[in-house]
Amino acid sequence: MAAFAAALLICAALQPAARAHAQAAAPFPEVPLPAHPKHSSTWALVSFATGATLIAASFGIADAADRRYADYLRATDPARIQDLYNEAVLFDRVSSTSVLTGEVLIAAGVYLAFLRHPAPSRFGLALEPSRCVVSLRF
């Protein structure tokens, strides 16, 4: 009798439960993920391109300012000295403004491309039998 009980316990331990077979046979249900709303990255790309262009242009403008300043140092005519100095200062300020504006535009491009999450539209049109045609959310 003890041998029969031991054999019965060994067989029960080796065979998985019937419920486990039934659960494993059915595939997991697929849960659809909500689609992320797509937003245009046109303004981000325009901001990146404009910022990079302004920064690149600032190098040429700074070089022109350096040339004007070198001419100012070599000039002997008082009227020409004043004009060259004023041009050098103007080009230097334009170059600085160009660099700063370019950096701001690149930062805005980073914000628009990677950090901003556009708010859903407050106004919508839907032609469905179960919905209102026009909806306005606050």
- Tens digit of pLDDT for each residue in 41-75? 899 999 999 999 999 999 999 999 999 999 999 99
* Predicted local distance difference test score (pLDDT) of residue 17: 57
Tell me the two tokens of residue 31: 């849960």
pLDDT digits over 109-130, tens only? 999 998 887 666 665 665 666 6
Determine contact, residues 106/47, Cβ cutoff 8 Å. yes
Give CA–CA dist 98/65, Å, rounded.
Answer: 13
pLDDT of residue 91: 97
The residue-averaged pLDDT of 77-89 equals 95
Place of tokens 């140092």: 73
Q: Which is higher by pLDDT, 91 or 22?
A: 91
What are the residue ranges spanned by the domains of the chain? Answer: 40-118
C-alpha distances (whole Å) from 67 to each of 8, 57, 60, 73, 78 are 100, 16, 11, 10, 18
Of the pLDDT bands very low, low, confident and very high (cuts 50, 70, 90), residue 137 is low
pLDDT digits (tens, 9 = 90+) for 3-42: 766 666 676 666 665 555 555 567 778 888 877 767 788 9
pLDDT for the residue 104? 97
Q: In angstroms, rounded to a whole number, what is the distance separating the alpha carbons of residues 97 and 105?
A: 12
Nearest to 56 by CA among 93, 102, 89: 102
What is the per-residue pLDDT for 30? Answer: 83
- What's the helix, strand, coil split of the chain in %, to 5? 65, 5, 30
